[in-house]
Structure 1
């Protein structure tokens, strides 16, 4: 392929890609919506029974044993599908409040986000936290207000709730026809139409039965009833005077969110959402590196590792590094420079994902997520690229844990398996491992306390190691940095019992209370007590 032809192909492949993450508060229906999008994409043909925890089927995006047991998402799944000429990379993030660190890293790998809100509960605490993460990166957000088949707040109340609590303009793109038991579907404000679907079987992709075009279509009163039609016309007249019109530029800048109403479990409003998303959501965007901004249309391949998952296939004890392609083309068997080590790697066994299922990939383009088999060489935050330019992508941090536990090994003869399990599982970044400068304790730190249950369950299931975790007298941990080596050394010497190193060998200090942390900051103003550190 000539250089000119390759450049044209690269531009075309970039333009047809959409890479986004789905975020929500727990139980808002995110996993159900994910499955319905996959049904429309034709990559699955039967939706998983998300609520039936003991059923044989489970949500496609939830593959880990503990997820099936508890009915929640605790890891971030990657799914790729094609729809209407677009290549869609969908990242389903954990909704549980205990998994914000993994969720944050996933949001560094996407170009936009889809926020799911429960129409009964409205904006919740976790929704605000996720919104703050998106705002840090000016990530464009679309909103799907779910569960309109239940009695909840009115559409106008929900729009006001989003605007007041999340500080973002709402631009309605669809409007519900009734609510609760009277909910009949949604009116597509963009196209001035209503689609009526009928299912071809439980859980299958619905087919279009009838279409109403415009509020004056005589079929409207016949299909939804005169009373519902009159109420819809009145609400839309009110909305025209009170709502924000959709502004594409404000959406891309993260200042406005297009809002879609629907019921994922009934397929109402899902197709309207998907089609608008493909039309308006951004294609892969430039990414910030240490030395410059990298355009997706640059011909040399580059990408960043944003996630590592151990034991996706427990039979093979594998570790997979998830890489977001940022520029150029990935091709199987290519050579890329591992920037942290300065060594070249042959990338000949890369895979693409459909949740736990995987297949070999011959090529990938900017926006795509590929998996690279990893034997401990790759870490979260690593940059891989062609050429000799010293390129390093930024913005994938570790967060200081908020909860701490001591590991107690039930069987002392399993010490080696424990070390191996902790090494591999903490590579994933959802939980952190610290060794004290004094003593032999093994300390686990997590942003969310449920991670301790997760790691105990995974050590048992994947490494045959049984552990208990005990609370510790630690309120906070901070990584240490400073330009004055003498002051740093004095701090270490005076507080040796509080010093720890993390799994990457970085020095940190533990504190029994917030008061002790504040006192240390006063006593050592030359030292930086860091709540985050780059994953390098």
Structure 2
């Protein structure tokens, strides 16, 4: 088997999705611990002290204890090259998560054992289903009291419409769990409580469920309950079918606790066996196969100022086909220019390594002088195709922003431009306005806070921010004269996006319907033309 095919087959590139506080950053960190990428995990609970999760690098994330940007983390385990895309859990940053899912081949859905399937989980699961990527479920926080595992299975099936197949099963009664039962191996793994609060790899004991010694160790009540559960699962459950997993009809389900490392290693090993390697990608020229010789990639994230000392800006690209080599020249479809990729980097959060080569499924960072945009395609010059459009999302909250100090106008414009290119906010202008200001559109209010924080700390600009009462945006398509003479928009505002397309802001959906009925010559679009949902 040739090198390109071999390297592609051993890649596993996945995103972790969940509702806020389900333990996503902790699980990411523990996968790194078991992968040998870090020696000691900094407990996320001790954020008030000096330790912070490895994947949360932005200062505001450390202060608030949330992830607001997607981290890219890579390590090797058991012959596989693992690329983890750790996405923001907070719903206010769902755009970044959706874009990151475009770069993933599968997803790990994290569910809190006490809370079950929550709102943000539903939305993100829907995106995975639309993209037809396999979803693996990790039920977290088994070190705490939670729902009955059978209840959780039923909830996943009813709420998300996907059947769940437990790969392992928690051993214990009423939320007091001591280990997991591996259904394939018919083995119990008991975890020792070592008092390190999950900072190091947990020792464990393996054995067969029918072994009398295990009955004695577990106690007869727990042993009998486990045997009954196993019998129920075997009688009532469907057979495991990998093809159904790949087609998104079945989710393999694992139980554990990321905080205490309970069940993490069995999950990682089984996941790497079952998860798919990089798949073909859709372009305007048809499918692009990962093992074809010609290099191709797309930009799914741009991040400015990852290293405040250098004020740098990085474009994260997902390699889709061919072998990447340092210093290679590629064609940038959107600018129509050839670009030399001179300093490619791979990441363990803030720790970077210059790399010489990479393969399909790998995520690399490129220094960007403002050339790249989200969704851009890189390929060989003789190919000249574009990967399918990235999702665009209508903003739901708006504010007018301007610098407090008019002398800092230049830094303000630079900061706003860079954050727009990152996709952190959507920027609009109001024509013929007496005030020289930007109108900012966001999906969630926390994005305003991050905007304010980053402009102050990265560009030295304090903002005046006036929140607007609009909650609905529609892109307008029609003759210029028809748009200028629109009826019934007195309570709204017409602004223009960065491509100078007109956008109408109104207070609610009812107002949009009322205006659209009175202006039949104008089309009202939720997302601009040439963009598409996932």
Is the structural similarity TM-score above 0.5?
yes
Matches within 5 A, 1:338-487: 338-439=332-433, 440-481=436-477, 487=479
Q: Aligned equivalents of 2:285 and 2:484: distance in 1?
A: 33
Aligned with 1:148: secondary structure?
coil
Q: In the superposition, relative to structure 1, how do residues 146 and 438 fare at CA in structure 2: closer, same or farther (>3 Å)?
A: same
Within 5 Å, give how 1:230-379 maps onto structure 2.
230-379=224-373
TM-score (norm 1): 0.94
Q: Equivalent of 1:532, from 513, 519, 527? A: 527
Q: Match for 1:491 among 483, 489, 513?
A: 483
- Compute the displacement of 1:327 (Å): 0.4
Corresponding residue of 2:505 = 510
Worse-superposed segment, 171-180 or 415-424: 171-180
C-alpha distance in structure 2 between counterparts of 1:346 and 1:249, whole Å:
40
Confirm or deny that 1:194 pairs with 2:214.
Answer: no
1:149–1:180 Cα contact (<8 Å) kept: no
Once the two structures are TM-superposed, the CA of residue 156 in structure 1 deviates from its matched residue by 0.6
Q: Deviations over 1:48-69 (max 9, x none)?
A: 2212232111001111111000
Instruction: Report the number of matched residues.
Output: 525
Q: Quote the offset at 1:426 in angstroms.
A: 1.6
Distance in 2, matches of 1:476 and 1:454, equals: 22
Cα distance in 2 between the residues matched to 1:118 and 1:437: 48
Quote the offset at 1:223 in angstroms. Answer: 2.6
Deviation of 1:240 after TM superposition, in Å, equals 1.4
Mapped to 1, the partners of 2:343 and 2:502 lie a distance apart of 35
Could you tell me how far 1:200 is from its partner in structure 2? 9.8
CA 1:454/1:325 → structure 2, altered by over 3 Å: closer, same or farther? same
In 2, Cα distance between equivalents of 1:175 and 1:54:
34
In structure 1, the gaps of 5 or more residues are: none
Runs of at least 5 residues in structure 2 that lack an aligned partner in the other structure: none
Deviations 1:72-110 (A, max 9, x none): 111110001100000000001111111111100000110
Q: Counterparts of 1:289 and 1:210 in 2: how far apart (Å)?
A: 49
CA contact (8 A) 1:382 1:535 kept: no
Q: Which secondary structure state, in structure 1, belongs to the residue aligned with residue 43 of structure 2?
A: coil
In the alignment, the residues of structure 2 paired with residue 87 and residue 120 of structure 1 have an alpha-carbon distance, to the nearest angstrom, of 33
TM-score normalised to the size of structure 2? 0.94
SS for the counterpart of 1:175 is strand
1:17 aligns with 2:43: no
Answer with 499-508 or 81-90: which moved more.
499-508
Pair 179,107 (structure 1): closer, same or farther in 2 beyond 3 Å: farther
State how 1:3-42 maps to structure 2 within 5 Å.
8-42=2-36
Offset at 1:181? 6.5
Call closer, same or farther: CA 1:299–1:491 in 2, change over 3 Å.
Answer: same
In structure 2, how many angstroms separate the alpha carbons of the residues matched to 1:52 and 1:243? Answer: 41
CA displacement 1:103-136 (0-9 Å, x = unmatched): 0000011000000000111111111111111111
Q: Distance in 1 between matches of 2:230 and 2:419?
A: 52
Asked if the contact 2:41/2:200 (under 8 Å) is kept, the reply is no
> Aligned to 1:38, what secondary structure does the other structure show?
helix
Q: CA separation in 1, counterparts of 2:368 and 2:222?
A: 57
CA contact (8 A) 1:148 1:179 kept: no
Q: Are residues 245 and 395 of structure 1, via their aligned partners in 2, closer, same or farther at CA, if it must alter by over 3 Å?
A: farther
Post-superposition shift, 1:266?
1.4
Contact 1:108 1:395 in 2 (8 A): no
More divergent stretch after superposition (459-468 vs 64-73): 459-468
| Deviation string, structure 1 residues 396-428 (Cα, Å, up to 9, x no partner) | 122110011111422222211111111111211
- Structure 1 residues 512-534: Cα deviation after superposition (integer angstroms, max 9, x where no partner): 44333223433444544222345
Name the SS for the 1:212 alignment partner. strand
Pairwise CA RMSD: 2.0
In the TM superposition, what is the alpha-carbon distance from 1:230 to its structure 2 partner?
1.2
Q: Which moved more, 1:11-20 or 1:465-474?
A: 465-474
Distance in 2, Cα, partners of 1:377 & 1:504: 16
Provide the residue aligned with 2:119 in structure 1: 125
Tell me which residue corresponds to 1:82.
Answer: 76
